[in-house]
């Protein structure tokens, strides 16, 4: 069976960098499922859909054409053929994505797309419900976490161009998102029962990658 590595965890835990590094080390593809939810959110905002209105979001969830590239050296995300890799990372999208991703019709649509991509061969998949919902049979499941302070500092660095994205503000926004993602009815953020938890607070990126690669080789 093709190797599937599920990398779950909250925002700022280092999932993206670690997942891409693991994919490169093992010669696997890479999928950022969070980018797909961000792309859906960006489209809703761009279309003027009130994202806090679940019925309005559900009614249009089938419309956007979202495509994800799986090259860990150059992952892509497009909506209707347009590259949205930059606009989906803005604070506006970040603060709206939990509302959009909690809509069951959105999750059903994107989980179907994610499973199609996973089915094409060996891959590292990062997200919040990979080991529990999207790929529960994944050979390797990792739940990557870190302290709230470390996660907020990392996220603030990513948003350095935004003058309003201080560590304090980012931590408050992140805590709100964690709460929403963990308590939603549809596929909440949760650690799979058979996932290995890795706390990246005091670890370097290389150390996290090495730990996951070691797990994959042990399961091989």
- Bridge partners (DSSP) listed for residue 90: none
Pairing of strands 66-68, 77-79: antiparallel
Q: What is the pLDDT of residue 181?
A: 75
Q: What is the pLDDT of residue 174?
A: 74
| pLDDT digit string, tens, across residues 14-55 | 899 999 999 999 999 999 999 999 999 999 999 999 999 999
Q: What is the pLDDT of residue 6?
A: 97
- Average pLDDT, stretch 202-211? 94
How much is the pTM?
0.86
SS3 30: strand
Q: What is the pLDDT of residue 26?
A: 97
Q: What is the pLDDT of residue 13?
A: 85
Q: What is the pLDDT of residue 162?
A: 58
Residue (of 60, 30, 11) closest to 179 by Cα position: 11
CA–CA gap between residue 108 and residue 110 (Å, rounded): 6
- Whether the CA torsion 36, 37, 40, 42 is positive or negative: it is negative
More confident residue, 93 or 183: 93
| pLDDT digit string, tens, across residues 146-174 | 888 888 777 766 655 555 556 677 677 77
Q: What is the pLDDT of residue 190?
A: 79
CB 99 within 8 A of CB 186: no
Given a cut of 80, is residue 184 above it in pLDDT? no
User: How do the residues of the chain divide into helix, strand and coil, expressed in percent and rounded to 5?
Assistant: 50, 15, 35
The angle formed by the CA atoms of residues 173, 177 and 181, to the nearest 5 degrees, is 175
Q: What is the pLDDT of residue 164?
A: 57
Q: What is the pLDDT of residue 165?
A: 57
Q: What is the pLDDT of residue 125?
A: 98
| pLDDT digit string, tens, across residues 105-135 | 999 999 999 999 999 999 999 999 999 999 9
CA distances from 213 to 22, 28, 90, 119 (A): 6, 11, 31, 21
| pLDDT digit string, tens, across residues 75-106 | 999 999 999 999 999 889 988 999 999 999 99
DSSP result, 163-201: TT--HHHHHHHHHHHHHHHHH-SSS-S---TTPEEEE-T
């Amino acid at each position: 069976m093709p190797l599937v590595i599920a990398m779950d965890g909250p925002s700022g835990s280092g999932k993206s960098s670690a997942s891409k590094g693991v994919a490169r080390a093992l010669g696997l593809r890479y999928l950022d499922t969070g980018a797909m939810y961000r792309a859906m959110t960006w489209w809703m905002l761009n279309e003027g859909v009130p994202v806090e209105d679940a019925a309005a979001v559900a009614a249009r969830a089938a419309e956007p054409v979202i495509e994800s590239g799986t090259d860990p050296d150059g992952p892509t995300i497009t909506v209707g053929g347009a590259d949205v890799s930059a606009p989906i990372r803005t604070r506006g999208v970040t603060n709206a994505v939990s509302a959009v991703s909690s809509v069951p019709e959105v999750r059903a649509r994107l989980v179907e797309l994610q499973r199609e991509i996973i089915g094409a061969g060996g891959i590292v998949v990062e997200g919040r419900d990979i080991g529990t919902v999207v790929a529960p049979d994944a050979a390797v499941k990792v739940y990557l976490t870190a302290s709230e302070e470390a996660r907020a500092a990392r996220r603030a660095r990513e948003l350095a161009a935004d003058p309003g994205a201080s560590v304090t503000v980012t931590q408050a926004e992140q805590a709100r998102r964690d709460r929403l993602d963990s308590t939603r009815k549809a596929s909440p953020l949760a650690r799979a029962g058979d996932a290995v938890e890795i706390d990246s607070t005091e670890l370097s990126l290389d150390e996290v990658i090495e730990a996951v690669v070691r797990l994959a080789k042990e399961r091989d």
